[in-house]
Structure 1
C-alpha cells in the first residue's frame, strides 16, 4: 500500500509540475504587451524576406548588387529614411520572439497540448530552441545595423567555414551541419506540400492563405536546403567561399543555365514567404 501511495503521489506531482509549466507558458503568452511585440517579430521577418526577394530579383535583372540574405536586407533597410528606427524596433521584436520560442522550449506550448508521444514533444521543443537561436541572431544582427556597425552574414559564414576547414574535426562538423540544414529545408518543403503549417494558425483560413503558405514554405525550404548543399560542397572542394549562406545559394542559382529565370522565381518565392509571415503575425497560435 505504501508503494501504491508513493506512486500516486509521484503521479500527482508530475501532473502538478506539468500544469505549473503549462500555466507559466500560458501567463507569458497571454501577456498582451509580450504577445504584441512577439507577433511584431513575424512582421519584421516578413519585411526582411520581402527585401531579400527584391534584392534577388534585382540581381537577376542586372541591377545594383547587394547581399541577398537577412544582413543585406537589414543593411538596405537601415540605409533608408527612418530605417534605423525600424532596426531598433526589430531588435526588440526579434528578441521577444526569441524569448517566446525559448519559453516554448522550456515550458511547452501554451496554445498546443503536449504531443502524444515523447519523441514528438522532444522534436517540438528542439525546434523551438532552434527558432529561438535564429531569432536571437536576427536581434543581434539588427542591433549591429541599428548602431551602424552591421556586418555581412555571408562574409561571417565564409570566415567561420574557413576556420573549421583547417582540421578534420571541423570538416566533420561542417558536413553534419550541412546535412542538418538540408533536413531543415526538406522539413519546410514537406510542411508546405502537406499543409501542416495550417495547424500553427488560429481561426479559419482562405484559399489565399493556403496558397501563400504552400508556396512560401516550399520556396524557403528549397533555399535553406541549397545552403546545406553548398556547405558540404565547400568542404569537398576545400573552398570556404562556397559556403556563403543564403546569398551564396541564390547567386549560385543565378549562375546556372536559365539562372535569371530561376533567380526571379526564387526571389518571388521568398517574397511569398514574407507575405505569409504577415499572416502569421495575425493568426499564429501563441
Structure 2
C-alpha cells in the first residue's frame, strides 16, 4: 500500500486526469448495469443509456456533487483518450491495426466529450434535454454514415470480447499477484459483456439505417431492450447487466492499477 501511494503521488497531471476518467467511466457503467439488473430481477429499475445514468445520478442525494465529480472525471477521460491517440502513449504504432486502435480512442474521446457537455448542461441548467437529431442524418449519405458507425461499433465490440477472452488488458495493468484470482475473471467478464453490448448496438444501428431507413441513433438502452425482449430475456439481460457492473468494476481497477505511460 505504501508503494502504491508513493506511485500515485508521482503521477503526472495527465496521469491524474486519466485515473479520474476511469473512475468517471466506472460510475456511469455501474449505474447503467445496476438499473438493468433491477429490471431483469423485477425490482424496478430501467434499461437506460449513459445519459439516463447521468440523470439518475442527478436525482440521488448529493446529486449535484456527483455531477460535478462526473464532469471533472469525464474531462479527464477525454484528455487521456486524446493523449493516447495523438501521442501513442501505449505504442500501438502506425500499422493498420495500430491506427485503427488510435482512431477508436479518438472516437471514444468525442463520445465522452458529448457526455461531459450533457452533464455540464444538466448541472448548470437542470435541463435534461437531449436535443433533436441533426437533419443531415436523414439524408441518404447520412444513413450510410450511421451504418458505418454501426459497423465500427460491432468491430470494437468484437475487439473488447477478444481482449477479455485473451486477457489482453494485462499488458496495460499491473494487478497485485495476491488478488489476481478474483480480479482477472472480473476483468474478463466485464470486457466480454461490454463487447457484446457494443456488437448489439452496432447491429441495431446498421439495421436501423439500411433496413428501416431510420436516422434515430441507437444506444445501450436499445441493445439491453433487445436482450430483454428475446427468448429467456430476463436471464440474458441479468447476465449482461451483471457484466456491465463487472465492467464498471474493471474501470475502477484501471483507475488504480492501469499503467499510465506519460
Count of aligned positions: 247
Residue 49 (structure 1) aligned with residue 29 (structure 2): yes
Question: Structure 1: which 5+ residue stretches go unaligned?
Answer: 1-29
- Assess if the C-alpha contact under 8 Å between 2:14 and 2:79 holds in 1: no
Instruction: Report the counterpart of residue 242 of structure 2 in structure 1.
Output: 268
Instruction: Report the counterpart of residue 200 of structure 2 in structure 1.
Output: 226
Q: TM-score, normalised by structure 2?
A: 0.85
Structure of larger gyration radius: 1
- Assess if the C-alpha contact under 8 Å between 1:55 and 1:67 holds in 2: yes
Structure 1's consecutive aligned runs of 4 or more residues displaced over 3 angstroms after TM superposition are 30-34, 61-67, 114-121, 163-166, 238-241
Instruction: Report the counterpart of residue 237 of structure 1 in structure 2.
Output: 212
Cα distance in 2 for partners of 1:240, 1:103 equals 32
Instruction: Report the counterpart of residue 136 of structure 1 in structure 2.
Output: 113
Q: SS where residue 133 of structure 2 aligns?
A: helix
Quick one: structure 1 residues 132 and 238, their matched pair in 2 at CA, closer, same or farther if it must change by over 3 Å? closer
Cα distance in 2 for partners of 1:166, 1:137 equals 21
Give the alignment's Cα RMSD to 1 decimal. Answer: 2.3
Alpha-carbon shift at residue 115 of structure 1 (Å): 4.6
Instruction: Report the counterpart of residue 143 of structure 2 in structure 1.
Output: 171
Larger proportion of helix: 1
Q: SS where residue 160 of structure 1 aligns?
A: coil
- Assess if the C-alpha contact under 8 Å between 2:138 and 2:214 holds in 1: no
Alpha-carbon shift at residue 171 of structure 1 (Å): 2.0
Alpha-carbon shift at residue 284 of structure 1 (Å): 0.8
Instruction: Report the counterpart of residue 145 of structure 1 in structure 2.
Output: 122
Cα distance in 2 for partners of 1:62, 1:115 equals 44
- Assess if the C-alpha contact under 8 Å between 2:194 and 2:247 holds in 1: yes
Alpha-carbon shift at residue 108 of structure 1 (Å): 2.2
Q: SS where residue 237 of structure 1 aligns?
A: coil
Cα distance in 1 for partners of 2:57, 2:22 equals 16
